[in-house]
Amino acid sequence: MILGIDVGGTHTDAVLLENFKVKKKTKIPTNQLHLVSSLLGVMDAILQDEDPAKLERVVFSTTISTNAIVQGKTDRVGMIVASGPGLTPQDVRVSEDTRFVSGYMSNRGIEVAPVKKGEINEALSALKEAGIDHLGVVGKFSTRNPVHENEIGEIAQSVFRHVSLGHRMSGNLNFRRRIATTYLNASIFDLYNRFVGEIVDFATKTGLKAPIYILKADGGTFEIRQSADQPVQTILSGPAASIMGIMSLADCSGSDAIAMDMGGTTTDIALLADGVPLLEPLGVTIEGHKTLIRGLKTRSIGLGGDSRVRVDKGEICIGPRREGPAAAFGGPYPTPTDAMIILGLTQIGDRAKAEAAVAEIAGEMKMSLQDAARAVFDKTCQGVASAVTTLIEEINNTPVYTIHELLEGKRLEPSKLFIVGGPAGAVAPRLGEILGCDVVIPHNAEVANAFGAALARTTAEITLIAETERGSLVIAEEGIQMKIPAHFTRKDILRIGIEKLRERAAKLGAREADIETEIIEDQEFNMVRGFYTTGKNIRLKAQVKPGLIARFGKGGARL
């Protein structure tokens, strides 16, 4: 059996799967003040009369990290930043408690200026004296050479309860994002670890021996103990759960597609290329912090079934605010849902109330009731469709850096629209028409998020850079520096990259059968100095991409 739980803003859903079919589903209201109690509560409920020993895996999607950041319930964090030349300190400062120190690596990871121990000690005691318990350490180009961060981290370890190191967050370049990511990681460390502790205690008490996983922003999972050091990876897992849900409820394989969750307030849009959800190229953004956290590329617009409809300067305006439920359910204003009811696209709520609300719009627009409802409905669909088109265009206009990619590169051309959410049935045909897509509305959509979490596989990414001239290989995320021989080749880096990725994925909790590796960047440059080739600069990025666990096969196949 597999247990999937999604702690959402309003409800916490649990779904118990046996042979990949829904055996049981449970829903309880979320206790925003104590998310763990919602989680444990729903678990208690669904596991009643079940044997916990039969569970093969348990997966949670939780908003605990996201909420802490959004609500500002984070810890104070001291930052030690070795910024070297470039942007000014003001341009990279993320918190007041930032100390800039010496130490500077070049873009090739060659030490230009060393770390000064005295300076570090001084900075650490100043931060400690200010009553700070959490520390982040970030150096420019630390993903090219982590030595300075490690050095500072070692000194700090004895003074601070926990130290987050920049190069461990991501292998990507981007100093400012590395600072933000490291800062966020340290700021939710205690909160998240208390959560992990409670879960682990619960598991011990109830005799739950199955591995427990947490959903990440990229739609992948990692084992709960492994997540303890990297809580920041769990931010924004909500939209990821919903996309993974769609993938598990419907057969998304093989084609470019749009995945959409239309709710009352917002519509979330994601895109799939050949059946694989697209990721943000650098990382997700949360509360204005641009991070290096791998996450699904999603777009959320303030247009949903309950968006307020009004007339402004002779134009029908919809959203972006929701001021209550649809008029048909006693809400204060007309909404797209009311229009859908009038048009007979859905048989819910009180039709008379819907008509009364939309009649106001009809009056102001000097239209018949039917025409006004039609106009509201069409404008809703057009608004959603145009957000989709913009997103696709953005993706197709993403800059590329080789002639080959520019001339032959793949263009995203979705042919299918997968849609879940309240108004899905009513808007699907029209949206499909506008976007030129076949439409699929998956069944069991009310448990999509929990279902998606339950079946999401463990993802991982690894970044390698080798320089044969200096005989060095760096694996950023692992903080590894290795000596390599001068005859090291692309073949060697591919072999090592895949091997290390497999190790990393397994450590994060992946089962052997789920480690489907993929090379996402593979570049080799001759390094020429003074008209002679002095070596090679070889770069590799590999991943286990987001997807469903093996044996499940294509989504929807067994439901």
Partner 1 sequence: MKRTRKTGLIFFPAFDWAISPTHPEREERLLYTQDQVFEEGLLDFENIVEYKPGLATIDDINRIHICVPDAKSVITESHLISAGGAITAAQKVLSAEVDNAFALVRPPGHHAMRIVHGARGFCNINIEAVMIENLRRKYGHKRVAIIDTDCHHGDGTQDIYWHDPDTLCISIHQDGRTLYPGSGFPDEFGGPNALGTTINVPLPPETSDEGFLHVLEELILPIIEEFKPDLVINSAGQDNHYTDPITNMRFSAQGYARLNERLNPDIAVLEGGYSIEGALPYVNVGIILAMAGLDYSHVREPDYNPESLRQSDDISRYIREVTKDVMDLWKKRHTFKAEIVKGAKYARRNRNIYYDTDGIREQQEETVRICDDCGGFITVNSMASTGNRLYAVIIPTRSCDLCRHEGEKHFRSIDKTKLGAHYLILQDRDRDIYTVK
Binding residues for partner 1, rule CB under 8 A, total 42
The contacts of residue 460 (CB under 8 Å, 6+ apart) are 220, 501, 504, 505, 508, 510, 543, 544
In the complex with partner 1, the residue whose CB is nearer, 10 or 90, is 90
Q: Return the exposure string of 335-355: e unless at least 16 CB atoms fall within 10 Å of the residue's CB, then b.
A: bbbbbbbbbebbeebeeebbb
Query: Token pair of 502, please?
Result: 């497999």
Q: State the minimum distance, in angstroms, from the CB of residue 182 to partner 1.
A: 14
Asked whether 284 and 295 are in contact (CB, 8 A), the reply is yes
Among 86, 114, 254, 363, binds partner 1 (CB under 8 A): 86
Site for partner 1 in 149-168 (CB under 8 A): none
Judged by CB under 8 A, the residue of 37, 265, 517, 537 near partner 1 is 537
Smaller CB separation from partner 1, 144 or 322: 144
**Min dist. Cβ of residue 534 to partner 1 (A):** 10
Q: Which stretch binds partner 1 (CB under 8 A): 35-43, 84-92, 362-370, 473-481?
A: 84-92
Binding flag, residue 530, partner 1 (CB under 8 A): yes
**Contact flag: residue 104 with partner 1 (CB under 8 A):** yes
Kind of pairing, strands 21-29 and 162-165? Answer: unpaired
Using CA atoms, how far apart are residues 256 and 119, in angstroms rounded to an integer? Answer: 53
| Per-state percent for the chain, helix, strand, coil, to nearest 5 | 40, 25, 35
Q: Which part of the chain contacts partner 1 (CB under 8 A), choosing from 117-125, 224-232, 251-259, 395-403?
A: 395-403
177 sits near partner 1 (criterion: CB under 8 A): yes
Q: Of 21, 205, 313, 404, which lies in the binding site for partner 1, with binding defined by CB under 8 A? A: 404
| 192 counts as binding partner 1 under rule CB under 8 A | no
Q: Provide the minimum distance between the beta carbon of 465 and partner 1 in the complex, in angstroms, as a whole number.
A: 10
> Which residue is associated with the tokens 């020429």?
528
Our CB check for partner 1 shows the closer of 147 and 199 to be: 147
Q: Is 461 helix (H, G, I), strand (E, B) or coil?
A: strand
**Binding string, 9-48, against partner 1, x = CB under 8 A?**
----------------------------------------
- The number of helix segments (H) and strand segments (E) in the chain equals 16, 27
Q: How far is the CB of 270 from partner 1 (least distance, A)?
A: 22
Question: Contacting partner 1 (CB under 8 A), which of 140, 297, 308, 353?
Answer: 140
Q: Which of 11, 24, 99, 108 touches partner 1 (CB under 8 A)? A: 108
- Tracing tokens 């957000």 back to the chain, one arrives at 387
3-state secondary structure of 418: strand
**Of how many residues is the chain composed?**
559
Q: SS3 of 288, please?
A: coil
Q: 327, 333 in Cβ contact below 8 A?
A: yes
Nearer Cβ to partner 1 (146/546): 146
Tokens for 73, please give them.
């319930």
Binds partner 1 (CB under 8 A): choice among 31, 37, 102, 174: 174
Decide if residue 125 touches partner 1 (CB under 8 A): no
Sign of CA dihedral 241, 242, 243, 248: positive
Question: Which of 176, 216, 294, 322 is in the footprint of partner 1 by CB under 8 A?
Answer: 176
From residue 309, alpha-carbon distances to 155, 255, 268, 369, 502 in Å are: 59, 35, 19, 14, 52
Using CA atoms, how far residue 232 sits from 107, 193, 329, 388, in Å, is: 26, 12, 39, 28
Contact flag: residue 107 with partner 1 (CB under 8 A): yes
Can you tell me the distance from the alpha carbon of 199 to that of 194, in angstroms, rounded to the nearest whole number?
A: 9
- Residue 526 as a binder of partner 1 (CB under 8 A): the answer is yes
Q: Which stretch binds partner 1 (CB under 8 A): 19-27, 250-258, 484-492, 521-529?
A: 521-529
Residues that bind partner 1 (CB under 8 A): 85-91, 104, 106-108, 112, 140-141, 144, 172-177, 290, 397-404, 406-407, 523, 525-528, 530-533, 537
